[in-house]
Amino acid sequence: MELIGVVVALVVIIVMTQRGFELYLSIFAGTAIVVVFNRFPLEEIASITYQALRSPTLITLTLIVITLTAFGNLLKETGNLKKIMLSLSSLIKDLRYQMVLLPLLIGLITFPGGAVFSAPLVEEAGKGMRLGRNRMAVANIAFRHIQYLVYPLYPGLLFLVEVSPYSLYDYIYFNLPLFVVFFLLIFKLAFRGVTNTRQVEVDLAKGDLKENSFSKDLFELMYSLAPLIVIILLLMIFQLYYPLAILIGIVAAFFSYYPRKSSVWKTAKVRFNYLLRGINWPMALAIVAVLIFKDFLDHSEVIDEIMHYMLGNGLPLLALVVLIPYLSGMIMGNPYAAIGICVSLFMPIIPEAPQGLYYMALIFISSLAGYFGSPLHMCTLLTVEYYKASLPAVLKDVNILGAAQMLLGVASYLIWQYLL
C-alpha cells in the first residue's frame, strides 16, 4: 500500500502541475496521499509537519525566495536593470557578446517574467546578426539559464546545499569545468555561420543611448550592478547568512538611483510597494510544500525499499541518478520539486564523500537539464510567445542542449570518480 501511495502521489503532482495548478497545491495534494496510504497517526502527522516548518532549512530557503524575488522586482521597477543594459551595450560593441551577456545578467536577478524582459534585448542584437526567430528564442533561454550551474544565488543550487551535507563551494567546484565546456558549446551553436557581429546603429533604448566615454559607461555599469555585487561579496567572502546578505543588497538597491526631485517619503512608499509586489508567494509556498513532502517521504520506509529493489535488480546507481532527476525536471517543469523529491529518493543509498558529492551534483545537473527542456518551463513558453517562434522547433533545440548538459555531467562524474 505504501508503494502505491508514493506512485499515486507522484502521478497526482505531475497531472495537477500539467493542468495548471500551482505547484504548492499539487505537492500538498501529493503529501496528503502519502499520509493516507502510509496510515500515519495524527500525532505523527503533526510532529512531522511541525518539525519541517521549524527546520532551519525550510526557514532559510523560504526567506531566500522571498527576499530574492522582492530584490529582483525592485531593480526592475526602479530602472536599475535598464541602466545595466544601456551601459553594457555601450561598452560592448560585438553583438554576439551583447546577446550572451544581456540575458545572462537578467538571469542573475530573480523576478517573475525575466525571460520576457531579456527577449527584446536579445532581439536587437539578433536582428543585427540576421538571426531567425527560433535561434534568438533558443539563445535567450540558453544564455539566461546556463550560469545557474555555478551561480551562488540560484535558488535551486541553494536548495540543494541546504538539503545535502555538502557546501556551495563543493558544488560550484564540481560544476565549473562543465559550465565552461557547456558555455563554449552553446556559443558555437548559437553563432554558427554568423559573420556580421559588429554593432551598427543598434539603439537598445530607442533614442536614450548616449555616446559616453568608456570610463563613464564602466562606472555606470558597476554602479547599477552594485546591489548585486554587494550580495555576492557578502556571501562568497564573508559567508553571511543568505537572507541577511540579500536584505543588505535590497537596502543598497532601495537607495540606488533615488530621485532627487521627488518627496523622500513618497519615493520610499513607492519602493516598498515594489518590494511587496515582487515577492513570489507561490514560489515560496512551493519550497515549503516540497520540504514537507520530502520529510513525509523520509518517514516512509517504502523509498528505501524502492531504491534497494531497483539496485538489487541490476540497475546501476549512476543511471538512476541521471535519468530519474532528468525525467522529474522534464515532467514537472520545476527544478525545486525535482531536486527535493530526488534527494529524498537517493540520499539513503548514496555513498559518503567524495562519491556522495559527485552523485548529488549529478542530481542537480540532471534535474536542471530536464527542467531546461521541459514543455512546462515558463521561460520557454514566454520566450516563444514573444518571438512568435515555433514551439516544437525551440523545444527540440533546447532539449538537445539539455541532453548535452546531462551527458557532460556524466563525463564530469567519470573524470572526478576515476581520474582524480
pLDDT tens-place string over residues 288-311: 988 898 888 778 766 666 666 766
pLDDT at 233 over 80: yes
C-alpha cell at 240: 553571511
C-alpha cell at 223: 554602479
pLDDT at 259 over 60: yes
More confident call, 304 vs 371: 371
Residue reference for cell 539539455: 402
Per residue in 6-27, pLDDT (tens digit) is 788 878 887 887 687 887 898 8
| 198: Cβ contacts below 8 Å, ≥ 6 apart | 93, 94, 95
CA 203-71-204 angle, to 5 degrees, is 5
Per the rule left: phi > 0, alpha: psi between -120 and 50, beta: everything else, 241 is beta
381 near 333, Cβ under 8 Å? no
Q: How far apart are CA 241 and CA 245, in angstroms?
A: 6
More confident call, 419 vs 11: 11
C-alpha cell at 356: 556522495
Q: How far apart are CA 151 and CA 172, in angstroms?
A: 8
pLDDT at 228 over 90: no
More confident call, 333 vs 339: 339
Per residue in 84-109, pLDDT (tens digit) is 778 887 888 888 888 898 888 877 77
330 near 305, Cβ under 8 Å? no
C-alpha cell at 43: 500525532
Q: Please compute the mean of the pLDDT values over residues 234-248 and round it to a whole number.
A: 89
Q: Please compute the mean of the pLDDT values over residues 404-409 and round it to a whole number.
A: 94
Q: How many CA atoms lie within 13 A of 200 on its CB side?
A: 7
Q: How confident is the model at residue 207 (pLDDT cuts 50, 70, 90)?
A: very low
The shares of helix, strand and coil residues in the chain, as percent rounded to the nearest 5, are 75, 0, 25
Q: How far apart are CA 137 and CA 126, in angstroms?
A: 10
Per residue in 317-332, pLDDT (tens digit) is 898 899 889 988 887 7
How confident is the model at residue 350, as a pLDDT? 85
C-alpha cell at 319: 543511471
pLDDT at 203 over 80: no
pTM over 0.85: no
pLDDT, the chain, mean: 84
| 192: Cβ contacts below 8 Å, ≥ 6 apart | none
pLDDT at 242 over 90: no
How confident is the model at residue 72, as a pLDDT? 83
Per residue in 136-172, pLDDT (tens digit) is 999 999 998 899 999 988 888 988 998 888 999 999 9
- Delimit the domains of the chain by residue range: 1-39
Fill in the amino acid letter for 303.
I
For the chain, report the end-to-end CA distance as a whole number of angstroms.
Answer: 44
Q: How confident is the model at residue 346 (pLDDT cuts 50, 70, 90)?
A: confident
Residue 301: helix, strand or coil by DSSP?
A: coil
Most confident of 191-205, 216-230, 374-388: 216-230
Dihedral sign of CA atoms 94, 97, 103, 104 in order: negative
Percent of the chain surpassing pLDDT 90: 32
Q: How confident is the model at residue 202 (pLDDT cuts 50, 70, 90)?
A: very low
Q: Please compute the mean of the pLDDT values over residues 117-131 and round it to a whole number.
A: 80
